Structure 1
Amino acid sequence: MLRVGLTGGIGAGKSTASRRLHELGAVLVDADVLAREVVAPGTPGLAAVVEAFGPGVLTAGGELDRAALGRLVFADPAQRQRLNAVVHPLVARRRAELAAAAGESAVVVEDVPLLVENGMAAEYHLVVVVHADEAERHRRLVADRGMDPADASARIAAQARDPERRAAADVWLDNGGDPERLRQQVDRLWSRRLLPFEDNLRAGRLVPAPALALLEHRVGWAAQAARLAARVERAAGDAGRGVEHIGSTAVPGLVAKDVVDLQLAVGSLAAADAVAGELAAAGFPRAEGDWWDTPKPSDPDPDRWRKCLHGGADPGRPVHLHVRVHGSPGWRWALLFRDWLRADADARAAYAGLKQRLAAGCTSTGEYADAKEPWFTEVAHGRAEAWAAASGWRPPA
C-alpha cells in the first residue's frame, strides 16, 4: 500500500486535487470529513469539545456550531491547541482504520489540511502540496465561500507558511490559475509516479540509478535528503542511531549524479537485518547481494567493512541507502569524506575534476565507480585523515 499525504493552505484547491485522485482510483481518506464525523451529535468527541469550550459552541439543535467555534480558535493559538488536543487523536485513529482497510495494492491519499503544522510528513511515502498564493486564497475564501474577510485572514494566518510547506513537499502542484492545469498535473502525477511507486513498493523493487551524467549541484538535494532521512529514521525506530546525508549531493558546489545517498547507522549487522522489512515498507527496499566498503577488508574482522544497501522505490527520486554499523570504518569514512570536501575547496575542486574526466570516458556507473578507486586509495584517504587530525574532526557520537 502506498500512502500519500495531500495538503495545502485553505483555499488552495486541495479538495479539487483529492477528488481527481479519487476519480483515477485512489482510496481517499479526508481528514476534514473525519473531523466532522468524530464530533457528530452523540459522540464522545462532541462531548469533549463542549466540556472544553462550553455550550456556546452548540447550535439550538445540539450540533457543533462550527462558525462559533472557529471564531474562538482561529483568533487564539492556545484555544486552537486545546481543540486540536481533543479532535486530532480521534481523527488519527479513524485515518489509520480506513487506511488499513484499503488493501495491499491501494494508493491511499490522505487529505490532511494540517499535515505540515502537525509534523506528519514522515508518516507518508510521499507528500503532495497544492499551492496558490495567499492573495488568491483569500479572494477565493471571500468570493467563493462567502467568508468574512477578517475571518479568512485569520484562518490563513493560523496555518503554515509557504516555506514550511515547500520543505515538506515531495510534489508541488501549482493551482494559482486555470483549474484544468491542476487536473493535468494530477493526472501526470498519478500515471508517472504514484502508480509505478505503488507497484515497486509491493514488489520490493528498487528504482535503478539514472544513466551516468554529472549535474551541477542543486540546492533542492538537501531538502529532499532531509525528507527521506526523516522517513528512514521513523522506519528504523529504536534500532537506528542516526541518519546522515552523504555522498556528492551532500557537498555544496560539487557536481554529482542525481542520486541522494543516505547513511543509516545501526548497532550491529543483526540490527541491519532486523530493520530491513520496515525500511522496505517505508519505500526503501533492500538490494540483493553482499556489499562491502572499500578498501577491501583485509583485517581479521572483515564484517567491519560490510554494509547493507537499500534503494528507493519512488520513480521520482533515486536513492542509495547505506546501512552501516555505527563506529565501523565505512561509517566513519563516509562522514569524514563528506565533511572534508565541504571544508576544503581545493579537495573539492580536485575531486570534481576527476569525476568529470572519468565520466567523459566511462560507459557505465560501475566502470565509473571502479575508476575512482585509485584516487581514494592514493590521495583522498591520506589527505582527509590529515585534515581530520589538524581540524579536530570527530564523527557524530
Structure 2
Amino acid sequence: MLRIGLTGGIGAGKSTVARELAALGAVIVDGDKIAREVVEPGTPGLAALVEAFGDGILAEDGSLNRPALAAIAFSDDESRARLNAITHPLVGARSQELIVAAGPDAVIVQDIPLLVENQAAPMFHLVIIVWVDAEERVRRLVESRGMAEEDARARIAAQATDEQRRAVADVWLENTGTEEETREAVRALWSERIAPYAANVNSRRAAEDAPAVQDRAYGERLVGRLWVTLGAEATRVTAVGDTGAAAEVVLADGVATGDVAGRLGEAGFARVGDTDEFRGSDPGRAVTVRVAAQGPAGA
C-alpha cells in the first residue's frame, strides 16, 4: 500500500487534484467529506460540538450551521483547539476504516486540509502540496464559495504558512494554470512517480536509477518517517550528510535488522540482500538507510 498525504491552503484546488488521482486509480480518503459525515444530525460528533459551542451552531433543521460554527471556532486559538479535539479523533477513526477496506495494494490519497498543522507528514510515503498564492485563494473563496473576504482571510491566516508547507512537501504542485494543465501535471506525476513507487513498495523493491536530490530539509522528514515506522524498536535515528538523502538507525537491544525489514519495506525502504542497508523505493529520490543492530539477537 502506498499512502499519500494531499494538502494545501483552503481554496488552493485540492479537489481538482484529488479527482484526477481518483480517475487514475487512487482511493481518495477525503478529510473534509469525512468531517461532514461525523457531525451529521444524530451523531455523537454533532452532540459534542453543541455541548462545546452552544445551540447557536445549529440550523433550523437541526443540522450543523457551518458558517456559524466557523465564526466561533476560528475566532481564537483556544476555540480552534477545542473544535479539533472533538472532530480529529472521529475523522481519524473513520479514515482508518476506509483505508483498511481499500486493500493492501491500493494507492491511498488522504485529502487532509490540516496535514501540516497536525504534523502528520511522517505518516505518508509522499506528501503533495497544492499551492496557489494567498490573494488568488481569497479571490476564489469569495467568487466561487460566496465567502466574505474577511472570513476568507481569517481562514487562510489560521492555516499553515507556505514556508511550513514547503518544509514537508515531497511534491510541490502549483495550481496556477488552467484546470487541464493541472490535470496533465497530475497524470505525469502518477505515471512517472506514484505508480512505480506503489509497485516498488508492494514488491519490497528499491527504485532503480532514482535521482540524487539536494534537499537538506528532507533529512528531517526522513528521520520522522523512520521514527513513525520503527517506534520503540529504534533507540536512535539520525540524518547523515547534508543532502537529506541518508539516515542511520540504531536498533534497541535484542532487535535484529531482520525483525524490522518488513516494516521498513512497507514504509518504502527495501533491504539490499541480507545486509544492513536499505534503499528507497521512491523513483523520484535516492535514499539510503543503514541499520545497526545491537544485542544478541543477530540478523
Deviation at 1:80, TM superposition (A): 0.7
Residue 85 of structure 2: aligned partner: 85
Provide the residue aligned with 2:286 in structure 1.
Answer: 318
Mark the CA change 1:27 to 1:163 in structure 2 (over 3 Å): closer, same or farther. same
Which of 273, 276, 284 aligns to 1:288? It is 273
Between 129-138 and 235-244, the greater mean CA deviation after superposition: 235-244
Specify the SS of the correspondent of 2:108: strand
State the Cα distance separating 1:282 from its structure 2 match. 0.9
| Aligned match of 2:59 | 59
- Contact kept in structure 1, 2:9 and 2:160, CA below 8 Å: yes
Number of residues paired by the alignment? 295
Distance in structure 1 (CA, Å) of the matches to 2:284 and 2:67: 41
- The structural deviation recorded for 1:318 is 1.2
Helix, strand or coil at the partner of 1:249 = coil
The equivalent of 1:142 in structure 2 is: 142
Q: Deviations over 1:343-380 (max 9, x none)?
A: xxxxxxxxxxxxxxxxxxxxxxxxxxxxxxxxxxxxxx
The answer to whether the 8 A contact 2:271-2:278 is kept is: yes
- Write the distance in 1 (CA, Å) between the matches of 2:294 and 2:220: 20
Shift of 1:8: 0.4
The letter for the 2-side match of 1:221 is: D
Q: Does 1:266 align with 2:256?
A: no
Q: Contact between 1:241 and 1:326, CA under 8 Å: does it hold in 2?
A: no
Would you say 1:122 and 2:122 are equivalent positions? yes
| Distance in 1, Cα, partners of 2:72 & 2:252 | 49
Instruction: Report the equivalent of 1:68.
Output: 68
Q: CA deviation at 1:44?
A: 0.6
Q: Which residue of 1 aligns with 2:277?
A: 309
| 1:225-272 deviation digits (Å, cap 9, x = unpaired) | 22122111111100112221214636xxxxxxxxx1211111347333
Asked whether the equivalents of residues 45 and 86 of structure 2 are also in contact (C-alpha less than 8 Å), the reply is yes
Alignment of 1:47 onto 2:47? yes
**Where does residue 231 of structure 1 map in the other structure?**
225
Q: Equivalent residue for 1:367?
A: none
Assess, with a 3 A threshold, how the Cα gap between structure 1 residues 242 and 197 changes in structure 2: closer, same or farther. Answer: same
Q: Do the aligned partners of 2:134 and 2:156 also contact (CA within 8 Å) in 1? A: yes
1:221 is the counterpart of 2:189: no
In the TM superposition, what is the alpha-carbon distance from 1:224 to its structure 2 partner? 1.6
Contact 2:255 2:294 in 1 (8 A): no
Q: Which has the higher contact order (CA 8 A, sep 6+)?
A: 2
CA RMSD of aligned residues (A): 1.7
Question: Taking every aligned residue pair, what percent have the same amino acid on both sides?
Answer: 49
CA distance in 2, matches of 1:207, 1:118: 30
Contact 2:253/2:294, CA 8 A, preserved across alignment: yes
Q: Higher Cα Rg: structure 1 or 2?
A: 1
TM-score calculated relative to the size of structure 2: 0.94
Question: What does 1:126-275 correspond to in 2, within 5 Å?
Answer: 126-209=126-209, 220-247=214-241, 249=243, 260-268=245-253, 270-275=255-260
CA deviation after TM superposition for structure 1 residue 56, in Å: 0.7
Q: Alignment partner of 1:116: what SS? A: coil
**Aligned-partner Cα distance in 1 for 2:258–2:26:** 33
- 1:277 paired with 2:262, answer yes
User: Separation in 2 of the partners of 1:46 and 1:246?
Assistant: 47
| Aligned counterparts of 1:195 and 1:115: Cα–Cα separation in 2 | 23
Gaps of 5+ in 1: 251-259, 291-307, 328-397
Residues 210 and 283 of structure 2 are in contact (CA less than 8 Å); yes or no, is this contact kept in structure 1? no
Counting helix residues as a fraction of each chain, which structure ranks higher? 1
For normalisation by structure 1, the TM-score amounts to 0.72
Q: What is the distance in 2 between the residues matched to 1:225 and 1:246?
A: 8
Partner Cα distance (2:164, 2:205) in 1:
31
1:156 aligned partner, one-letter code = I
Letter in 1 for 2:168: A
- Distance 1:153-1:204 versus aligned 2 partners, 3 A rule: same
Letter in 2 for 1:38: V
Paired with 2:247 and 2:233, the residues of 1 have a C-alpha distance of 16
SS in structure 2 at match of 1:108: strand
Q: For 1:264, what is the secondary structure of its paired residue? A: strand
8 Å Cα contact 1:30/1:112 also seen in 2: yes
The residue identity in structure 2 corresponding to 1:287 is V
The answer to whether the 8 A contact 2:26-2:109 is kept is: yes
Counterpart position of 1:17: 17
Q: Measure, in 2, the Cα distance between the counterparts of 1:127 and 1:210.
A: 18
